[in-house]
Amino acid sequence: MKCSQTRAIQTHMITYPHLNFHKTLFGGQLMAWLDETAGIAAVRVSRAAIVTASVDHLDFLAPLKASHSVCIDAYVSGVGTRSMEIFAKVIGEDLFTGERYLAGTCFMTFVVPKGSSLPEEIEPETKEEQFICQGYEARKQVRQAKRQESLDLAQNVDLTIPWN
């Protein structure tokens, strides 16, 4: 399956309800939009009910200002047996000047239910897709190590709430 066959794109206008104290897009809103867009890409490759397993890496590179638009472009950048990695780029645009800028990048992992199947590989076509996809295995190893670290941490987290 080609990366382009999994691509999902959403564009939003940045308006008052989405702003933080600095009159730029609230990061939590961007994260929700990223999860939705990346989830669509994940379903396009799996054709199954997916679950977000992790936001592996989210870099905020430039603020998204009020009255600008934000375009999220996401596609599958690697597949395993039951999990897949999605790459998303966040493109801001000053609608009055037409200037576009890279506002962020994100890698997320989604998991499919047992019994679901994923293609054996994802085929990159563009220079960008080739660059992103070639790093999949290395990022997967880092994710697996981080997952084990998180499981170890969870064994030592106290669930007592101090005020009860």
Do 95 and 68 form a contact (C-beta atoms < 8 A)? yes
Grade residue 163 by pLDDT with cuts at 50, 70 and 90.
confident
Domain residue ranges of the chain, discontinuous segments joined by +: 3-154
Instruction: Give pLDDT tens digits for 80-123.
Output: 999 999 999 999 999 999 999 999 999 999 999 998 889 999 99
pLDDT in tens, 60-71: 999 999 999 999
The answer to whether domain 3-154 has CATH 3.30.420.40 is no
112/135 Cα distance (integer angstroms): 22
Q: Are strands 100-111 and 51-60 parallel, antiparallel or unpaired?
A: antiparallel
Sign of CA dihedral 152, 153, 158, 161: negative
Stated length of the chain: 164
Give pLDDT, residue 164: 63
Q: Check whether 6 has a pLDDT greater than 90.
A: yes
Comparing CA positions, the residue from 36, 23, 87, 19 lying closest to residue 59 is 87
Helices (H) and strands (E) in the chain, counts: 4, 5
